[in-house]
Amino acid sequence: MKRTGRKGSYHFGDLRSALVGAAVELAGRGGPSAVTVRAAARRVGVTPTAAYRHFTNHGQLLCVAKEQAQRSLFGAMSAALATLEPGTHGVTRLNAAGRGYIAFAMSEPGLFRTAFCDTADDEERDSPAFDLLSELLDELVEVGFTDPTHRPNAEMAAWSTVHGLASLVLDRAGIDAVTREQTITDTLAAIERCFATGPNATGYHSR
């Protein structure tokens, strides 16, 4: 990061980026409640007054941290998909994305909670992770695994189930690894069965 003059003096635009980075670090360590303008200013090494020129209140900074956390979640899901061979069936891809989602929650609990926190400045924003889920569900229809009539609003069924499981895994930190893995496997399989309504899903329920 470029600085000019004394410590804490930044080129125009650099300070805002530094504050965003600090907010993300704070969120990663302590969740959304740890993100404040003053805390970010301290972490960067500037006065709160300088920080408030870029973010006039806590809500604005938290919104930016939330957006970054959402992008990190998308990155985790995308990374899980990238481990698969080209042409992998949509069911396997949906499963991998779900595992990426849960793995992110387990490895980055602070960012995971920040990605879904309420903020005073909240408004409807694009969610890359949600868009990715939509694409995966469209794939299931395209390959005949899911009946097109069952496609509308399918995102909420899949999302709420995986998100609920991820939250439970975080809250039950003492659960042993074997039980946790089996629970994840069983839950993701249940989601797949729910979408196995198309002509090319014949026999899937009997597996």
Residues 6+ apart with CB under 8 A from 70: 115, 125, 127, 128, 129
pLDDT at 118: 87
Containing H/E element for 77?
A: helix 58-82
pLDDT at 203: 72
Query: Looking up tokens 């805390």, which residue turns up?
Result: 39
pLDDT at 122: 55
Q: Classify 181 as helix, strand or coil.
A: helix
Rounded mean pLDDT for each run of 10 residues along the chain, 207 residues in total = 45 82 97 96 94 92 95 98 96 98 97 91 74 98 97 96 94 83 96 95 70
pLDDT at 190: 95
